[in-house]
Amino acid sequence: MPLRFLTSGESHGPTLTAILEGMPAGLPLSPDDINPDLARRQGIRRGDPGGRLESRPYIGASPRMKLERDTATLVGGVMAGVTIGAPIALQVQNLDHAKWRGKAVEPMTVPRPGHADLTGAVKYGYSDLRMSLERASARETTARVAVGAVCRKFLAQFGVRVGSYVTEIGGVAAALGEMPLEERIGRALDSEMGCPDEAASLAMHDRVQQIMQDKDTLGGVFEVAALGLPPGLGSHVHWDRRLSGRLAQAMLSIHAMKGVEIGEAFANAKRTGTEVHDEIVLGDRRQTTDDDLAFIAHRSSFIVRKTNRAGGLEGGITTGQPIILRVAMKPISTTLNPLMSVDLATGEPAATEYERSDFCAVPRAGVIGEAMACFVLADALLEKLGGDSLGEMLPRFEALRQMRLEDVPMLNESQVFWP
Ligand SMILES: Cc1cc2nc3c(=O)[nH]c(=O)nc-3n(C[C@H](O)[C@H](O)[C@H](O)COP(=O)(O)O)c2cc1C
């Protein structure tokens, strides 16, 4: 798998760093390609009045989000505004670091249920749980979003778009019906709660306001959609090449994400096979829903699907229809109302202590899901097309788009048999 990345940095350390290796040469890249996604991760909406500095993140976000001004610095892999094929190094400063620098802080010894405090301390032998939480904090996803933005720019060269929207917060669900994916994504960009259904968004706002008064926290569900993908990314031939598994792993690697569904997976589990599977029909490419690549040219016609209950993947390979991932986030584990725990310093029962925290981070989580999806899809596209520069890849992509099924040489024209 040609693309990989590493991140480094702690929540209140000086800097977050990411290195992305395997990005081809020739991609125009500047911080302006990255900063809008970083702003979205902070909970700042498109067109917020006054731009970033005066913007107020949505209700339920930690006050930290008002303090940070996340912007990326490109410190490697880019010259004269284009990638050179070398590892791309990115940095984002933690402004909050200034407040903590040189300050003696009491050790934290009461682990919060639901966080990485206890598991991290047991594994690494920490006596101060801050060593767990500093790296386990979702602040790390700032670096991932920066990497994802580079991958998004790469995918855009091939017409691939990735977006997200919130469908549920604390049991308040959006009613999206047949709303096209592009519209869902566009409306979410303008919505405080990242939700395309205005009425639900207001109800979600109220639900979060209430939970803050109750000194509790909430989770929810968001969907990530990828449009414009060609058929044939990923593979059925080996477990770790299945794109379905790779995308699921990427989603579950995000802090607090505990479930992922591809297409209508859980609803499909209640239906019959003939109710579920997306029939393959000959037709006009215009019949396809939502996207223009969900067709395969064959003889004088097109092979198309009328439905997309599979969520754009069959056999771990893209069908050419939109990929749809539904991701479940658990409620935030730092709660104002304490939970019972054990003080590791005394061995006595103890209540958890509160530190500044999100009450609900679902509206910010979608952009992190997008970033991880962009990375996996860019990796899969690179695998499919090969190449060291964008100039090499673009003609190959065009050839893929023009491909007709009958022109693909078959390995063996005769009947399959086992020797
Ligand atoms: C965008 C985002 C913001 C988060 N903010 C907080 C937070 O303010 N407080 C907190 O306790 N957990 C927060 N979390 C969740 C923790 O990082 C997560 O629960 C913890 O790392 C333990 O990992 P796990 O939940 O995957 O087991 C956040 C997660 C995301 C994705």
What are the extents of the domains in the chain? 4-407
Backbone angles phi, psi at 220, to 5 degrees: 170, -160
- Once rounded to an integer, what is the mean pLDDT over residues 41-63? 68
Q: Please tell me the distance from the alpha carbon of residue 223 to that of residue 66, in angstroms, as a whole number.
A: 26
- The whole-number pLDDT of residue 101 equals 77
Q: Kindly give the distance from the C-alpha atom of residue 256 to the centroid of ligand 1, in angstroms, as a whole number.
A: 5
Whether the CB-CB separation of 408 and 33 falls below 8 Å is answered with: no
117 lines ligand 1 (CB under 6 A): no
| Residue identifier of the C-alpha nearest atom 28 of ligand 1 | 138
Tell me how far the alpha carbon of residue 2 is from its chain's centroid. Answer: 19
368 lines ligand 1 (CB under 6 A): yes
- Ligand 1 atom nearest to 41, measured from its CA: 1
Q: Could you give the C-alpha distances from 333 to 50, 194, 337, 339, in angstroms and in order?
A: 33, 22, 11, 9
- Once rounded to an integer, what is the mean pLDDT over residues 328-338? 98
Each residue of 111-150: pLDDT tens digit?
A: 999 999 999 999 999 999 999 999 999 999 999 999 999 9
255 lines ligand 1 (CB under 6 A): yes
Instruction: Return all residues near 347 (Cβ < 8 A) that are at least 6 apart.
Output: none
Q: Kindly give the distance from the C-alpha atom of residue 299 to the centroid of ligand 1, in angstroms, as a whole number.
A: 52
Q: Kindly give the distance from the C-alpha atom of residue 313 to the centroid of ligand 1, in angstroms, as a whole number.
A: 29
Question: Which has more pLDDT, 400 or 209?
Answer: 209
Banded pLDDT at 306 (limits 50, 70, 90): confident
Q: Which of 358, 367, 372 to mutate to test the pocket of ligand 1 (most atoms within 8 A of CB)?
A: 358
Q: Quick one: which of 74, 96, 90, 73 has its CA closest to 11?
A: 96
Question: Which has more pLDDT, 360 or 50?
Answer: 360
- The whole-number pLDDT of residue 58 equals 80
324 lines ligand 1 (CB under 6 A): no
Banded pLDDT at 85 (limits 50, 70, 90): very high
139 lines ligand 1 (CB under 6 A): no
**Domain 4-407, CATH among 3.30.420.40, 3.60.150.10, 3.40.50.300, 3.90.580.10:** 3.60.150.10
| Residue identifier of the C-alpha nearest atom 24 of ligand 1 | 256
Each residue of 346-379: pLDDT tens digit?
A: 999 999 999 889 999 999 999 999 999 999 999 9
| Residue identifier of the C-alpha nearest atom 5 of ligand 1 | 358
- The whole-number pLDDT of residue 51 equals 46
